[in-house]
Homo-oligomer: A and B are copies of this chain.
Amino acid sequence: MKQSKLYIPTLKQTPSDAEAVSHQLMLRAGYIRQVAAGMYAYLPLAWSVIRKIEAVMRKEMEKVDAVEMQMPDILPADLWKESGRYETYGDNLFKLKDRHDREFILGPTHEETFTSVVKEGLNSYKKLPLVLYQMQEKYRDEDRPRNGLLRGREFLMKDAYSFTANKEQLDVIFNQMEQAYRNIFDICGLNYRAIIGDAGAMGGTDSKEFSAVADIGEDIIAYSDDSDYSANLEMAASKMEENPKEDKKELEEVDTPDVHTIDTLAALLKVEPSRIMKAVAYMADEKPVMVMIRGDYEANDVKIKNYLGVDFLREATPEEVTDVFHSVPGFIGPKGMDDDVKVLYDSSLVGLMNFVVGPNKKDRHFINANFEDITDETPEFRDFRVIKEGEVSPDGHGHIKFTRGIEIGHIFKLGTKFSKALGANFLDENGKSNPLIMGCYGIGISRLLSAIIEQHSDENGLIWPVSLAPYQVHVVPIKYNNDVQGKLSDEIVELLQNEGYDVLLDDRKERPGVKFADSDLIGIPIRITVGKKAADEIVELKIRSTGETIEVSKDELVNSVKILLKNQ
C-alpha cells in the first residue's frame, strides 16, 4: 500500500484535551478523530488493527463452535421493558421514537434480542447447546465520556450468547469461552488478570472479568501478593477478623455536639475509628435499610445490593433519615430503631466491645456500648465492606494489594433471568418445558484497542504486536523519486508482499525526519530505510520496539524480516 493513498493525519503536538496515553497517541498518530463527545471515526490504520483483532476473535470463536450473526442496533423499547432493564439502565440508554411515535432504544447489549429471536427455533433439548455471537457497535449514553475509546458512547463489542439445557452444558461452554478469551488476550500481547467480577448487574450467578493492567484503568483490582487471587475491589471478599476480647464496660451517653464525621467523632472522644460502630442509611428499592460497620471501613454497595437482591440501592437523604428512619442525620444507630428498618451487621464488627454508636438523638453518642445494649436480637455478621490493601487475602495466601485495570472482557453465567422474563422455553428429554439456561460473553473491541496501546507504546508513539500491526513492514525511501531508491523500494515491497506480509510504502515527498517520526508514531514493527546504499542494494532495518538497527542486503532481506518478526 502506498502511504499517499492512505489517510494518516499525524499531529506534531499532543492534543491538550487528551489525558490517557492511548487517547493521546491515537489522535497524534492519525488513528482516530472525534465526531462528537464519546463518538469516534476510526481512520484507516485504526480500522485495519480492529479488523485484525476481529479476525483473531473469529478464529477463537470458531474453535468453540460459536457462530457469527448480526442483530439490529435499534431495538424495540418493549423488549427492554419486558426484561425490566429499560428502567434499571435509565439515562444510560439512548432512547428514540420513530415517525409513528413508537419507542426504541439503541442496544447497549443484546441479551433480550438474542433470547427473543432464537426462542422460536430452540424449542427442544435436541437443538442445544447453541452459541451465537456478533461484532457490532454498542451505545451507552455515558454521563461523562472520556479517555477516547476507553469510555465512549458508541463502541465496538464482540458479544456472545449461549443457550443450554442444563448447568453442566453451561459450565462446559463457560470454561471454553474463558479459554478462548485468554487465547485472544494472549495473542493481543496483553498483560491482564482474570478476576472475580460482579455478576449481579446482569442478574446472573457467576462471572469472571478480564482486566488489562494499566494506570489509567477505572477499576481497582484487589489481588494477593502470594496467590492467583484477583477480584474487582467491589467483589473482593474481606476476611472476617475477630476484634480483641476485653472487659465489658458500662454504657454511657455523652455530648458530641456538631460532630458529623467519624474522624471528628474519634478525635473528640479520643478513640480509634475502629472503636466506632458507624451506621449507613440506605433506601433499597425505596425501603429503609441500615448497615452497621466498623468506623475504619467503608460500606460496599455492590455487596449490599447483591445480598438484598434489589434493583436500586442508594444512600438515604438527610430528610429520609428524619422522616423514614425517625432518627437524626449523623447520630443514627440500631437502638430503638423501627421494626420496618432492616439492620445489617458487617463482619468487621464480630466481637467488638465497648464501642461508640449513635443513639438516634441529636448531638449525642453512646460510648462503651456492647451488642446487648443496642439490640435484642443476635446479630448475623456478613461481609458488607470494601476490602483494604494489606488485608489477608480471602484465599488465606498472602496479603491484598491494589492495582488499576481496564475491563476488557466479561463472561457471565446468566441462568434463567432472561429466558424466564421473555418466555424462552424448551422441551427436555422427558417432554417437560423448562426455561433455557443462558450465558453471555463480551469483549469491548474498541476498548481492547486502547488497552493494548496503554501497554505498548513509548514517547515516540505506538509499538504494535506483530499479530495486530496494520502493516508489518514500513518501507521508507529517503527519496522515492530518486530512480535507484524508488526502484529498490518497489522491488522490496513486491518481495515482501509475495511472502504474505502487509507492507506500507512511504511514497510521500517529505523530509526524511518527518518520515521517520511518522513511522515511529504509527508503530509498525519493522522499518526498512532505503537510502544512499541503495545502489549497492543495501538497506537499513530498524526494529520499532527496541530501536535496534541492522544493515542487510536485498538478498538477505526476506529472511531477516522473517526472523525479526518471529522474535517479536
Cross-chain contact B5 with A153 (CB below 8 angstroms): no
Q: Is A250 an interface residue (CB 8 A)?
A: no
Contact with B along A90-117 (1 / 0, CB 8 A): 0100111011001010100000010011
Cross-chain contact B35 with A75 (CB below 8 angstroms): yes
Cross-chain contact B72 with A40 (CB below 8 angstroms): yes
Cross-chain contact B36 with A104 (CB below 8 angstroms): yes
Contact with B along A21-49 (1 / 0, CB 8 A): 00000000010010110011111101110
Q: Is A68 an interface residue (CB 8 A)?
A: yes
Cross-chain contact B69 with A42 (CB below 8 angstroms): yes
Picked from B9, B95, B141, B153, the residue with its CB within 8 Å of the CB of A121 is B9
Given A98-B94, A99-B143: A7 touches B74 (CB 8 Å cut-off): no
Given A35-B72, A74-B36: A65 touches B154 (CB 8 Å cut-off): no
Cross-chain contact A139 with B35 (CB below 8 angstroms): no
Q: Is A70 an interface residue (CB 8 A)?
A: yes
Picked from B7, B42, B117, B126, the residue with its CB within 8 Å of the CB of A70 is B42
Total count of chain A residues near the partner, CB < 8 A: 61
Chain B residue nearest in CB terms to A51: B68
Which 8 interchain pairs have the tightest Cβ spacing? A9-B121, A96-B96, A39-B72, A42-B70, A5-B65, A44-B67, A36-B76, A47-B69
A494 to chain B, nearest CB (A): 16
For the complex with contacts A5-B65, A98-B141, 14 further pairs of A-B residues with Cβ separation under 8 Å are A4-B127, A5-B130, A7-B67, A7-B69, A7-B121, A35-B117, A36-B76, A41-B117, A43-B69, A48-B68, A50-B70, A73-B73, A74-B154, A99-B143
A108 to chain B, nearest CB (A): 13
Picked from B33, B47, B106, the residue with its CB within 8 Å of the CB of A68 is B47
Q: Is A341 an interface residue (CB 8 A)?
A: no
Bound form: Cα–Cα A91–B99 in Å? 6
Which residues from 151 to 207 on chain A have a C-beta closer than 8 Å to any C-beta of chain B? 153-154
A9 proximity list for chain B (CB < 8 A): 118, 120-121
Q: Is A71 an interface residue (CB 8 A)?
A: yes
Chain B residue nearest in CB terms to A152: B72
Given A91-B99, A99-B141, A120-B9: A47 touches B70 (CB 8 Å cut-off): yes
A508 proximity list for chain B (CB < 8 A): 126
